[in-house]
Structure 1
Amino acid sequence: MSRKESLKIKAGERSRDIGGWLSVGVDLAGSRKNWTGLCKMNANLFCETSKVKMEEEIIQYILDADPEVVAVDAPLCMPPPNTHLRKCDRCLVEMGIHVLPPTLLGMKMLTKRAMNLKEKLLEVGYRVIEVYPTGSLKILGLPERKFGVEDLKKKLLEIGVRGLKREGLESVHEIDAVLCALTGIAYLTGKYIEIGSPEECTLILPSPDFLSYITRSLKT
């Protein structure tokens, strides 16, 4: 039985005209009442974005894209008992990057949902990594989202991300999903930093030279 059949979800064919999707980014919401941003990206940094609410829709999107890696913006594990931060969270703090403890009430809901999603995806053979768009922005020197996403979107277009709408804004959730997918590409190309502890879980950030590397690759 294939991994698609095991989930009992009818999957679409992988897009072949643009070389196939390599990375899917998931800006996961803590509740199905709120939007989850999704992005699929190929080796040429062409992307398509969407937003959904239900777990079944998230899984369907991933199955249709059939990527090499799924990059999730949400904690994929809880910290050890009687602590509030995981090792990867402490590493982010040491880098000057703000984090929310997974033990906060709203974050607990998000973490539980993320862990359930990861388990389902691992069962059918997908690689799942935890990413953090705020950290990716800082390392890559991209504009912060707190002033809106338009400047960030312009910068993403400048570095070679294709498929974003030049007029009309994608939601902040979709833009975060683009950053997740881009970090997934960094992971696949080996241009990444892994922080945290394998005994808990690790978090993936792009390496500082990722943008120069990918820009050179797109020109060749």
Structure 2
Amino acid sequence: MRSLGIDVGAKRKGLDAVLLDETLIPSETRRHMGVEEVGELIRQVRPDVVAIDSPPAWGRSPGGSRLTEREIRRFGIQSFGTPSDPKKASSVFYDWMRAGFEVFEAAAQEGFARYASGAVAGRAIEVFPHATAVVLAGCLPPSGTAAGRAKREWRRGVLRGEGVATEDLRSSDQVDAALAALTGLYALGGRCFAPGDPLEGVIVLPAATLPPPPYPRCRQAERSDGQDQLVFHGLARCGCGHPDCASSTSREFAPGHDAKRKSLLWGLARSGQDAVDELRRRGWQVPPEMG
């Protein structure tokens, strides 16, 4: 399965794109694309779903927001509203939405019709990276992470907690494109929920169900090296014990970090019986000279 995530900005800022598959390693990244490049990218990477960080069209509900936006606000997830009033829609503030509409049109020309309900394969879906990060973390961003580097690193931490390789994501926009792609990947596997009215567009979230609203706020704990460690609701710090590890996970180890634990134990086994006992308890091979 392959999911193409697209972060949308106004024309001067451009679009960022990330392609993810089941390896969770970005296999394609683009920065500052024009809308006219979207079709060629889709033809080149052949995704199963296109996940776009934008509404597909103006709202239909009276007022300044759609039902899908009002629904997620009940959970404490704030978003810009998509207006139905033509006077509001003419504001330059909404230039980025107009760019997003064009991305949906470009995707449709490549066979990815706008998603309404049901299976997402072969569709262009609306996603919201902030909402994705909150749903995956199980909590709202901690205080002090609303903008800039702190916001980017919190969202990057959410991606790492899901096992996504983030080393090549060089900007906040690429992090958001990766969150969009991850949402599409989970939705392809049936892990999705899309509140709202399909006629005016629904935001696809990476969970089959949501907890009772609102989400709690995440907290930050200080690591032993004096740096902040993000603590996500329902997640704990990875148990690999590696001094450079800052991952949170719902399991004992972050993806791939069992190997780090084993390597650490091999080093310790040569100087103490406790590490040998843990290796044997886990069913892992002990160093040859310790056999």
Give the TM-score range, shorter chain: 0.7 to 0.9
> Hey, what does 1:99 align to over in structure 2?
79
* Percent of aligned pairs sharing the same letter: 25
Match of 2:131 among 135, 138, 148: 135
- The one of 45, 50, 55 equivalent to 1:65 is 45
For residue 205 of structure 2, give the secondary structure of its aligned residue in structure 1: strand
What is the TM-score when the length of structure 1 is the normalising length? 0.76
Of stretches 72-81 and 88-97 in structure 1, the one that deviates more from structure 2 is 72-81
What per-residue deviation string (whole Å, max 9, x for no partner) do you get for residues 62-110 of structure 1? 2211100000001112112642111101111112111112235345322
CA distance in 1, matches of 2:64, 2:94: 11
RMSD between aligned alpha carbons? Answer: 3.1
The SS at the match of 1:204 is coil
Match of 2:202 in 1: 202
SS at match of 2:203: strand
More helix by percentage: 1
Aligned to 1:116: 102
Q: Partner residue of 1:16?
A: none
TM-score by length of 2: 0.59
Aligned equivalents of 1:45, 1:173: Cα separation in 2: 18
Q: 1:95 to 1:55 in 2, by over 3 A?
A: same
Instruction: Report the Cα offset of residue 38 of structure 1.
Output: 0.8
Q: Which amino acid aligns with 1:187?
A: A
- Equivalence map 1:136-215=2 (5 Å): 136-141=132-137, 144=141, 146=147, 147-162=150-165, 164-165=166-167, 170-207=170-207
Q: Distance in 2 between matches of 1:96 and 1:158?
A: 22
Residue 14 of structure 1 corresponds to none
For 1:81 and 1:153, locate their aligned partners in 2 and report how far apart those are by CA, in whole Å.
34
Unaligned runs of 5+ in 1: 1-20
Structure 2 letter corresponding to 1:181: A
Structure 1, residues 160-186: CA drift from partner, whole Å, max 9, x if none? 213x327xx611000000000000011
- Whether 1:35 and 2:14 are equivalent positions in the alignment is yes
Post-superposition offset of 1:156: 2.3
Deviation of the 1:216 alpha carbon:
11
Structure 2 residue matching 1:192: 3-state secondary structure: coil
* Larger Rg over CA atoms: 2
Greater RCO (Cα-Cα under 8 Å, separation 6 or more): 1
**In 2, distance between residues paired with 1:98 and 1:43?**
30
Q: Distance in 1 between matches of 2:7 and 2:60?
A: 24
In 2, the alpha carbon distance for the partners of 1:216 and 1:153 equals 14
Letter in 1 for 2:125: I
Q: 1:123 and 1:53, CA in 2 relative to 1: closer, same or farther beyond 3 A?
A: closer
In the alignment, is the contact (CA less than 8 A) between 1:33 and 1:53 conserved in 2? no
Q: Which runs of 5+ in 2 are unaligned?
A: 113-122, 210-248, 257-291
